A and B are shown apart, each in its own frame.
Chain A
Amino acid sequence: MNARAAILGRLRTRLGRDTASAAELRIMEREVAGRLEHPPTHPVPARTRLGDAARRALFVRMAEEAKASVTPLARAAALPESLRIFLKARGLDGALHATGEAGLRALPWAAAGISLRHGRSAGTPASVALAFAGIAETGSLLFCAAPESPMTAHLLCDLHLVLLPENRIFATVEAALEDFQKTQGAFMPSAAMFVTGPSRTADIEQQMQLGAHGPRELHIYLTEEGP
């Protein structure tokens, strides 16, 4: 017998499927299908049930607690200039790795003297990305794998610079994933990665060190007006 049949057989025996009648099994299957269709409502932290302004404030507070910085920008178009100043202060030239969303590309990069590189990254001092969503509950950013959004862009940089329009801040992980389903047509991306602060480790004497394998810093630019 192959392993699949053996394991399922054993599970069915333990679960008493072999002694259940066909009718009973049908009921059970219907119940499970029903539950998948309409999962029970689970508690969601009350602290996330907020109006827009308070939700934004919670996002900022939680992101900062996770050691990300949050810079408010009135317009997305102000991002390139803001990054020019930031990169200069860090002694970096005007080249940036970037995810390829049209909205991000369309910002006035040239005017700020920044040139963008796109596609899979093999390691770069700084990457700029457009987040799919922000999560107020935890201060997380959601990145969904897509041709224009390779995951390495978010992992193989020292400085992770992320643009997030305010109206993309959702209360919870559930709400953000639901939005993905609704707007992108696909049920789940090949990778939905929620990032909360820079990469970190406490494996040595329980001391928190930022920048384990991924970004050492995470800077979020929160715009009132999306790209």
Chain B
Amino acid sequence: MKITSNAFRANSRGALQDRNLQDALGNLKRGFQEKRRKAKARLPEFEELQDHAVAIKEHSLDHLDFYLERFEKEVTARGGKVHWCRDGAEARATILKLCKDVNAKRVVKAKSMIAEEIAINDYLEANGIEPCETDLGEYIIQLRHEPPSHIIGPAIHLKREQVADTFREQHSEFPDARKLDAARDLVDEARHIMRPRFLSADVGISGANLLVAETGSVVLLSNEGNIDLSRALPKTHIVVASIEKIVPTLSDANVILRLLSRSATGQEAAAYMSFLTGPRGADETDGPEAFHVLLLDNGRSDLLKGEFERILHCIRCGACLNHCPVYGVTGGHAYGAVYTGPMGAVLTPLLEGLEHAAPLPEASTFCGRCEEVCPMRIPLVGLLRNLRVRLLKKKPDGLATRRRLGVWLFFATRPSLYHGVARLLLRLAAPFGRGGALSVGPRAGGWGRRFPVQGGPTFQEMWRQREKAKRP
């Protein structure tokens, strides 16, 4: 995906005017927030599990080299194959080669953020292979040629009627007059379309929620059952996973899994949770004959042991998006990148370069709700602030801010001067402030910059007067 994060301001303005989007976002907030709250309340051990999950991730990252090698060893021992990929280009080439090796015409894809990150669909298509998204939301946005707007609900920005229009436009094999007004109709139509695709696909591609070093297992969650179908039916299963998904053992995995569904959708468990280990066994009648796992770095190793390491703890639950006031009114597309919301505002600049995503670290009120709900306790605000430190040092973006701060700091670090100037300014402002408000800054029109300021004496001035009056 070509990122357009630098257009965040313009994108978000458009989003605020988009009625359909605003309606869709209304559903999102109330649904996800309430469900997560209830699920968390039902698990008294939630916070204890969080402590353990953070420790597991810390330990895993501290020993990432050991565990990745162990994972590779186990996958290989079970007859699978691990492919290491430095970046998106290597991952795309590897996937294409694996597909070509089996003469693949059609690939079924289960929702994967990494697949989005490396933009595999366009690449396969350009090379004559048909990529079929199978997750309903992902399928809808594939039809509409849109990027996902949410890490767990890719089509969350759309209303039912928009999906119906898309289906009418694209599913020409169905009668025009068919009924498509209920969500049920849409789900059934997609199910009908997808069945033969599952059955005829040559390769299944999925992401991974976790990798288990001890057993070489790939853990995958879904609600629709599409991931397991994408694995069970085609002869080849390709898993694309980023390197930080690794955990040492099954028991470690279960700690994180207990937090994941509850934080994501408020479910006690996703409808399908699978531990996939190697290709199908001897005499098994379904499952892949070839099992490939791509381990993708794509900039992550650079974050290890640095000030941004904690973002590697992210388990992509989406809770920070669901609770972010900014995401809640702009939606995901405004972020102009694969990863959106607070975690995206941290990750996108790190993976794509700050110069390509400069507005994102600033697009936060620092209200802290994201880190409050993050199951992995990732200090998202602090990470965004660290990015702002980098931004400030950059020319030309940071230059204007640096100048403004410099002037302000000159006064703020000289209290006597500061109080004198403040007093003077307010005296001057008093006549204008009598109406109750001063327009601060000329930039934006309308209400935007009107802050109520009274004018008159400062508090410090009043206090000095009072102290003087007290003295004999």
Contacts and interface: CB of A to CB of B under 8 A. Distances in A.
Interface of A: 2-4, 6-8, 10-12, 14-17, 28-29, 32, 35-36, 39-40, 42-46, 62, 65-66, 119-120, 122-123, 137-140, 145-147, 150-152, 155-156, 172-174, 177, 187-207, 209, 211-215
Interface stretch (B113-121, B171-179, B187-195, B399-407): B187-195
B287 interface: yes
A18 to B, nearest CB: 11
B216 to A, nearest CB: 8
B184 to A, nearest CB: 6
Nearest to B80: A190
B269 interface: yes
- Main secondary structure, interface of A, reads loop
Contacts of B184: 209
Contacts of B284: 145-147, 150, 190
Given A150-B232, A152-B286, A205-B160, A11 B273 contact: no
Given A43-B255, A147-B282, A212-B224, 13 more contacts: A4-B84, A10-B302, A11-B65, A32-B66, A35-B249, A66-B271, A145-B287, A192-B277, A203-B140, A204-B155, A204-B158, A206-B27, A212-B191
B238 interface: no
Interface string B65-86: 1111110000000100001111
Given A14-B301, A203-B135, A190 B287 contact: yes
Nearest to A215: B225
Interface of B: 24, 27-28, 31-32, 43-45, 48-49, 52, 55, 59, 62-70, 78, 83-86, 90, 134-137, 140, 153-156, 158-160, 163, 183-184, 186-188, 190-191, 194-195, 198-199, 213-215, 217, 223-226, 228-229, 231-233, 243, 248-252, 254-255, 257-258, 265, 267-287, 295, 297, 301-302, 304-306
Contacts of B301: 7, 10-11, 14
Contact of A189 (B27, B68, B281, B282): B281
29 contacts: A6-B86, A15-B305, A32-B63, A36-B214, A139-B268, A145-B280, A145-B286, A147-B283, A147-B285, A151-B286, A151-B287, A152-B233, A173-B254, A174-B251, A188-B217, A190-B276, A200-B223, A201-B223, A203-B140, A203-B156, A204-B160, A205-B159, A205-B160, A211-B188, A212-B225, A213-B198, A213-B224, A213-B226, A214-B224
Contacts of A32: 63, 66-67, 248
Contact of B86 (A3, A40, A212): A3
Nearest to A6: B86
Given A189-B277, A194-B269, A46 B224 contact: no
A194 B272 CA distance: 6
A214 B153 contact: no
A106 B255 CA distance: 39
Contacts of B156: 203, 206
B228 A43 contact: no
Contacts of B188: 211
Contact of B199 (A16, A122, A188): A122
Contacts of B44: 45-46
Given A46-B45, A199-B224, A214-B225, A174 B252 contact: no
A40 to B, nearest CB: 8
Nearest to A67: B271
Contacts of B52: 40, 42-43
A213 B229 contact: yes
A39 B251 contact: yes
A121 to B, nearest CB: 8
A62 B271 CA distance: 12
A177 B250 contact: yes
Contacts of B226: 212-213
A209 B156 CA distance: 15
B152 to A, nearest CB: 10
A12 B248 contact: no
Contact of A138 (B31, B78, B269, B304): B269
B255 A42 contact: yes
A211 B252 contact: no
B213 A36 contact: yes
A172 B275 CA distance: 15
A3 B89 CA distance: 12
Contacts of B277: 187-192
Given A42-B52, A145-B287, A203 B155 contact: yes
Contacts of B278: 190
A206 B249 CA distance: 34
Contacts of B32: 206
Contact of A188 (B31, B69, B215, B295): B215
A204 to B, nearest CB: 4
Contacts of B275: 177, 188, 191-192
Contacts of A204: 136, 155, 158, 160, 163, 183, 186-187
Contacts of A15: 62-65, 304-305
B270 A196 contact: yes
A140 B229 contact: no
Contact of B274 (A11, A17, A193): A193
B273 to A, nearest CB: 4
A6 B232 CA distance: 33
| A-B residue pairs, 8 tightest by C-beta | A214-B225, A212-B224, A203-B137, A147-B283, A138-B269, A199-B225, A4-B84, A120-B285
Contacts of A17: 65
Contacts of B254: 42, 172-174
